[in-house]
Amino acid sequence: MKIGVIGVGYVGLTLACLAEFGNNVLFVGRSADKINNLKKGILPVYEKGLSEIVKRNLEAQRIDATTDYEKMKETEIIFICVGTPSAEGGAIDLSQIKTVSERLGILLKNTGEHKTIVVKSTVVPGTTKDVVIPILEKYSGKKVGGDFSVCMNPEFLREGDGVYDFLHPDKVVIGGYDEKSSYKVIKLYSFYDSKIPRIVTNLNTAEMVKYAQNAALATRISFINEIANICEKFEVDAYEVSHAIGLDSRIGSKFLNAGPGFGGSCFPKDVKALVSIAKTFDVNSILLDAVLTVNKTQPHRMVGIAKSTLGSLNGKKIAVLGLAFKADTDDIREASSIPIINSLLKENAIIKVYDPQAMENSKKIFGKSVGYCTSKEDCIKDADLCMIITEWDEFRKLDLSAIKCPIIDGRRVLDPIKAEQYGLVYKGIGWKNN
Ligand code: UDX
Q: How far apart are CA 409 and CA 428, in angstroms?
A: 5
Nearest atom in ligand 1 to the alpha carbon of residue 259 is: 30
167-205 tens-digit pLDDT: 999 999 999 999 999 999 999 999 999 999 999 999 999
List of residues 6+ apart from 326 with CB closer than 8 A: 159, 160, 263, 264, 390, 391
Is pLDDT at 227 greater than 80 in this prediction? yes
Confirm or reject: Cβ of 171 under 6 Å from ligand 1. Answer: no
Is pLDDT at 72 greater than 80 in this prediction? yes
Strand, coil or helix: 3: strand
Nearest in space to 27 (alpha carbons), one of 70, 63, 76, 54: 63
Is pLDDT at 262 greater than 80 in this prediction? yes
Label residue 434 by pLDDT band (50, 70, 90).
Answer: confident
Label residue 285 by pLDDT band (50, 70, 90).
Answer: very high
**pLDDT in the model for residue 88:** 85
Is pLDDT at 147 greater than 90 in this prediction? yes
Q: How far apart are CA 174 and CA 66, in angstroms?
A: 27
Going by CA atoms, what residue is nearest to atom 9 of ligand 1? 266
- Expressed in angstroms and rounded, the spacing between residue 158 Cα and the centre of ligand 1 is 7
Bridge partners for 3 per DSSP? 25, 77
Q: Quick one: DSSP state of residue 400?
A: G
Q: Select from 267, 329, 332, 333 the residue to mutate for testing ligand 1; criterion: most ligand atoms less than 8 Å from CB.
A: 267
Maximum C-alpha span of the chain:
75
Give whole-number Cα distances, 227 to 54, 298, 378, in Å. Answer: 44, 12, 35
Q: How far apart are CA 417 and CA 391, in angstroms?
A: 18
Gyration radius of the chain over CA positions: 24
Beta-strand ranges (E) seen in 307-391 are: 317-321, 350-354, 371-372, 385-388
**Averaged pLDDT, 143-148:** 96
**pLDDT in the model for residue 8:** 96
Which of the residues are catalytic?
266
Q: Quick one: DSSP state of residue 283?
A: -
231-256 tens-digit pLDDT: 999 999 999 999 999 999 999 999 99
pLDDT more than 70, % of the chain: 100
What backbone phi and psi angles, to 5 degrees, belong to 139?
-80, -20
Confirm or reject: Cβ of 256 under 6 Å from ligand 1. Answer: yes
Is pLDDT at 46 greater than 90 in this prediction? no
Could you count the other beta carbons within 10 Å of the beta carbon of residue 283? 12
Label residue 47 by pLDDT band (50, 70, 90).
Answer: confident
User: 198-201 and 317-321: which strand pairing?
Assistant: unpaired
Give whole-number Cα distances, 209 to 172, 178, 193, 234, in Å. Answer: 11, 18, 21, 38
Q: How far apart are CA 434 and CA 432, in angstroms?
A: 6
Label residue 371 by pLDDT band (50, 70, 90).
Answer: very high
**pLDDT in the model for residue 65:** 97
**Averaged pLDDT, 297-303:** 97
Say if residues 156 and 213 touch (Cβ distance below 8 Å): yes
CA atoms within 13 A on the CB side of 71: 16
Lowest mean pLDDT among 43-47, 117-121, 207-211, 299-303: 43-47
Label residue 307 by pLDDT band (50, 70, 90).
Answer: very high
81-134 tens-digit pLDDT: 999 999 988 999 999 999 999 999 999 999 989 999 999 999 999 999 999 999
- Expressed in angstroms and rounded, the spacing between residue 168 Cα and the centre of ligand 1 is 17
Q: How far apart are CA 285 and CA 287, in angstroms?
A: 6
Is pLDDT at 433 greater than 90 in this prediction? no
